[in-house]
Amino acid sequence: MNTTNDSRRQFLKHTLVGAAGMAALPVLTPGELFGAAGQSEKKAQSEKKERVIVKRKLGKTGLELPVVSMGVMNADNSELVRAALDAGIVLVDTAHGYQRGRNEEMIGGVVKSRPRDSYMIATKVRGDGVDRETGEFTADAKAGPFVENFETSLKRLGVSYVEILYLHNVVTRQAALFEEYLSAMVKLKEQGKARFIGVSTHGNEPEVIRAVAGSGVHDVVLTAYNFRQPHVADVEAAMAEAAKAGLGVVAMKTQAGVYWDKERQKPINMKAALKWALGNENVHTAIPGFTTFDQLELDLSVMADLALTVDERKDLEQGEDMGYRGLFCDQCSVCMAQCGRGVDIPTMLRSYMYVYGYRNLAAAREALDGVELGRLACESCDRCTVNCTMGFDVRGRVRDVARIRHVPEEFVV
């Protein structure tokens, strides 16, 4: 970890540039707009303050990045991207498909007047020919359109290369290692159009992370990671393996959906959520998707002290108080001795996690297939004696997940 205060110098530099720009503005007051007499404007005073920038190395890429980067997707505001870069953020993350290319164009407009070594860009390109049920690429997947789309992205961004090119939204090992796209990405790297290559994933992350960690070809993985992930322990284990293998690990969706509730009435403490993610040193940088100047300040402020305060920790535990216990069963099997009907609860809860956490119906069904049918006894039992060590509503979950046995086979691929 590398903590620097050199941002003060950078901040002052940009403040001076900004002030010079202000001085060049016409000296008209609002009244002059409408014909009234005006007075001379004075230069605006910028707020000056020191900012701590915490940097980590992005695995074997060797890139030193502030731990807070910017997910630009939601920021339809070039001013905000400019402000972020001025404030010390280095990496901006976008994708070929965002706003049908306008997101990349907007970034291109911002960076065109900046030295190429003052910022870094990550973009993502989807591979065509994916089977939506299995998440695997089919024979229709061809490198040609993928490469064309990436070349288009470079044009939109106005650069000759990006720092990171991701294969967008990979959810299986097969897709992560799919030869057609992997070869194309390696070639683009050799051509110098992408300095580093990787995949992005926000489904079935552990499998994908482990696949790219072992490929020997990928440099970076962009993964969903937050304190509310039901399978967070498995994600963390995979991230640790990836980091050990030299992969750069970038975290997204760190702020866990912004709200606790589906009604969007109970906001999550965003600063605490980001700190929580960055508290894991296997996360080399995160790409929160801020959309306001205040959020930018808030996200940058976490670097002043990455440790969660007692209150912040409490805020993150609110979900548990509200009944959001998560989905990850640690398979301790204490429940097995408590259940009078011998239900294979750990397997059922693992299946539950596959459905609601990984969103992987096939894995859930496969887990259930290993459970003896006669043991699905919760459906006829009114007296549950199980006291789960993690506080799960065991009977409710078992009854719930048992229903997927009734889903027609052809829907579970």
Partner 1 sequence: MRNSAWGPLVVTVLFLLAAAPAWADITVMFPDMIGWEREGEPAVYLPDNLFEYINGAADLYLAYDFQEMGTLNYAYGRGGSVSVEIYRLGDAKCAYGIYSQERPRDPSYVESGAQGYYDPGVLNFCQGDHYIKILGYELADGEKVALAAVANSISAKISSARVDSTESGSGEGSGTDRAGDKTLPAALLCFPATGKVPNTERYIARDFLGQEFLRSAFVAEYDIGEQGSRAFIIEARDADDAKGMVDRFRKSVADRGGKVEESDGVVCLRDPRQSAGPVTLKRHGNYVWGAVGDDLRALGTVLRGIEENLKEHHLLE
Name residues contacting partner 1, limited to 340-369 (CB under 8 A): 355-356, 359, 361
- Taking CA atoms, 210 is separated from 81, 171, 290, in Å, by 33, 12, 29
Q: Which is nearer to partner 1, 18 or 214 (CB)?
A: 18
Identity (one letter) of the amino acid at 56? Answer: R
- Taking the complex as a whole, the smallest distance from the CB of residue 83 to partner 1 amounts, in Å, to 5
DSSP 43: P
Q: Is residue 20 close enough to count as binding partner 1 by CB under 8 A? A: no
Give the x/- contact pattern for partner 1 in 29-68, rule: CB under 8 A.
xxxxxx-x-x--xx-xxxx---------------------
Site size with partner 1, rule: CB under 8 A: 69
Name residues contacting partner 1, limited to 173-232 (CB under 8 A): 200, 202-203
CA angle 35, 40, 43 (to 5 degrees): 130
At 324, give phi and psi (nearest 5°): -90, 85
Q: Are 69 and 252 in contact (CB under 8 A)?
A: no
With CA atoms as reference, report the closest residue to 315 among 274, 357, 356.
Answer: 274
Q: Is residue 99 close enough to count as binding partner 1 by CB under 8 A? A: yes
Residue of the chain from 115, 117, 132, 265 that contacts partner 1 (CB under 8 A): 132
- Taking the complex as a whole, the smallest distance from the CB of residue 99 to partner 1 amounts, in Å, to 5
- Taking the complex as a whole, the smallest distance from the CB of residue 238 to partner 1 amounts, in Å, to 20
With CA atoms as reference, report the closest residue to 341 among 396, 388, 391, 385.
Answer: 385
CA atoms within 13 A on the CB side of 69: 29
Per the listing, tokens 């014909």 go with 35
With CA atoms as reference, report the closest residue to 257 among 227, 299, 233, 281.
Answer: 227
Q: Is residue 336 close enough to count as binding partner 1 by CB under 8 A? A: no
Q: Are 234 and 225 in contact (CB under 8 A)?
A: no
Q: Is residue 265 close enough to count as binding partner 1 by CB under 8 A? A: no
Q: Is residue 406 close enough to count as binding partner 1 by CB under 8 A? A: no
In the complex, the residues that contact partner 1 under the rule CB under 8 A are 15, 18, 21-22, 24-26, 28-34, 36, 38, 41-42, 44-47, 73-80, 82-83, 95, 97-102, 124, 126, 132-133, 168-169, 200, 202-203, 252, 262, 289, 291-296, 355-356, 359, 361, 400, 403-404, 407, 410-413
